[in-house]
Amino acid sequence: MGRFHRHDDGTVHQHEHEHEHDSAVATDLGDHTGYETGADRIDVLERIFDENDRAAAANRAAFDAQNVTCVNLMSAPGAGKTALLQRSLGELRDRGVRTGVIEGDIETSIDADRLAGLGAQISLLNTGNGFGGECHLDAPMVARALTGLRLADLDLLLVENVGNLVCPAEFDVGAHSSAMVYAVTEGEEKPLKYPVMFRAVDLVVVNKIDLLPYLDFDIDLFEANLDTVNPTARTIRVSTKTGVGLPDWLDWVTAPERR
């Protein structure tokens, strides 16, 4: 705990805390855009996430204006977000739910191609840039992806975030609800290792349960660990291979209280 900085020689080190926090400042995060000016410094007090949060609020307002429910879908790479969407889009169409997908992918259109032809509007968002690709979707990116969708013709918008259990938890994209896809092959302890992400979701879809006979995965222990970090999250057990549990997921994602 303390202050980190880097010296000219490249070394990084940490000092003990040099002051007590003024909790009024630390917790009062209202409008601090006015500067106080000193001789050789200015106090800025600007929140770094403000710009993202403003864009997220604008996205949410755009969804609300068209009665669209937006759900942010997050997971580690390979847990089955795209497989879940593949199994869901046809079913949603049959239920009369007009669905759109924002597909976040660092470089390729592979996932978006897998979702083509299933009756949903797809907007692909490649996050690759000069530094090798973003690890998450943020609200301005989602706003850009919205230009590729006709919101007026949608009831439900599913945002498939970049596979990552750290960064996407930090960025509000304007969704009304958040869901995580979790594979039973990931072990029981990830809620304890990535508590910020697990705290950020309303639902955990426990996927690949068709593999349970072949694994030592203790699903009760996983749910107990989840309960430790997020007592209000629901879980639904699903196999995107066999289709078990899919109706429960579809009921959840289309429920009126999602918005």
Residues making contact with other proteins (CB under 8 A)? 1-6, 12, 14, 21, 23, 26-27, 29, 33-35, 37-49, 51-52, 54, 131, 134-136, 138, 166-167, 169-171, 192, 195-196, 199, 227-231
CB nearer to other proteins: pick between 156 and 197: 197
CB nearer to other proteins: pick between 49 and 258: 49
Q: Extract the tokens encoding 66.
A: 């068209």
The CB-of-256 to other proteins minimum distance in angstroms stands at: 26
The CB-of-238 to other proteins minimum distance in angstroms stands at: 25
SS (H, E, C) 99-138: EEEEEEECCCCHHHHHCCCCCCEEEEEECCCCCCCCCCCC
The CB-of-16 to other proteins minimum distance in angstroms stands at: 11
CB nearer to other proteins: pick between 29 and 215: 29
CB nearer to other proteins: pick between 59 and 230: 230
* Gyration radius of the chain's alpha carbons: 21
CB nearer to other proteins: pick between 5 and 77: 5
123 has which bridge partners?
102
Nearest one of 55, 48, 249, 237 to 156, comparing CA atoms: 249
CB nearer to other proteins: pick between 7 and 257: 7
Q: Extract the tokens encoding 32.
A: 């601090």
Q: Could you give the C-alpha distances from 190 to 21, 73, 83, 222, in angstroms and in order? A: 32, 17, 21, 8
b/e map of 145-184 (b: 16 or more CB within 10 Å)? bbeebebeebbbbbbbbbbbbebbbebbbbbbbbbbbbbb
The CB-of-49 to other proteins minimum distance in angstroms stands at: 6
Element (H, E) at 14: strand 12-15
